[in-house]
Amino acid sequence: MIRRFETYAFLPGVPEDGRRELARVVAETDRYIPEVLDNWAGWNGAGSDAELVWEHAFESVSAYRRYMVHRYHAEVLDRYVLVDSPERIVETLRGAGLFGYSCPGAPYRLEHGARRVVLLQLERSAGPSEVDSLERRLADATREAGGVLSVLARNTMADRWYDGVTRLPMPVRFTHVWEQGFPSGEVMRATDVGRVLDDPVVRRTSELAYELFS
């Protein structure tokens, strides 16, 4: 599976109706593009710049490529987000942008409730054993806080071309993605992630937190 996120920050002056229209468009994408799986959106309640978070997945690279050339993508989604579109309503340099990872199965799957996504920049010196140890600590902390899932994975989407495979010669701001799932926003907001992320291998973080809607 290819797990993928897009985040958006809106241009100044975009009315509430415009914001909600983009939210509706991304939340309904799976109705028009069958390749889009596990499709949800949410309004970010954390302190980072991103305002709207769109999460989804694809079964394979070929499914991802079909999504990229689908008419709904070109004629509806791109109207609001492409730099050269006169109807663009989102910033290009704010928010967390595009990120994600590949994984077997769907360990991230959450059909209701709330999600926290933390982007992590790990130290270059962090080896597999240190990353594994961090992953176990994060999973344990999530369970103790009443969470229902925890996934830590390398961010492999931030430096890929639109085919999902071809690597681009660009720096990656965050090396890993950590997802938590909670039964409700109330449970999520009662969780302090700062304590569990106080680890020598973690250099920098950025947090997103939202309740799911579709």
The pLDDT, as a whole number, for residue 106 is 97
Tell me the per-residue pLDDT of 70-79, one tens digit each, with 9 for 90 and over. 999 999 999 9
48 versus 15: the higher-pLDDT residue is: 15
Instruction: Give the position of tokens 């980072």.
Output: 48
Tell me the per-residue pLDDT of 97-153, one tens digit each, with 9 for 90 and over. 889 999 999 999 999 999 999 999 999 999 999 999 999 999 999 999 999 999 999
What is the C-alpha to C-alpha distance for residues 4 and 9, in angstroms, rounded to an integer? 17
The pLDDT, as a whole number, for residue 214 is 78
Mean pLDDT of the chain: 93
Residue 155 buriedness (CB in 10 A; 0-12 / 13-18 / 19+): buried
Query: Picking from 10-14, 40-44, 166-170, which range would have the lowest pLDDT averaged per residue?
Result: 166-170
Per CATH, domain 2-211 is 3.30.70.100: yes
Using DSSP, state whether 213 is helix, strand or coil.
strand
Average pLDDT over residues 153-174: 79
Pairing state between β 202-211 and 176-182: unpaired
Tell me the per-residue pLDDT of 56-72, one tens digit each, with 9 for 90 and over. 999 999 999 999 999 99
Task: Kindly state the tokens that stand for 36.
Answer: 């889009």
Q: How are strands ordered across the β-sheet holding 52-58? A: 37-43, 52-58, 2-8, 98-102
Phi, psi dihedral angles at 138 (to 5 degrees): -65, -40
What is the C-alpha to C-alpha distance for residues 208 and 54, in angstroms, rounded to an integer? 11
Tell me the per-residue pLDDT of 157-166, one tens digit each, with 9 for 90 and over. 877 766 667 7
State pTM to two decimals: 0.94
Query: Picking from 28-42, 90-104, 133-147, 186-200, which range would have the lowest pLDDT averaged per residue?
Result: 90-104
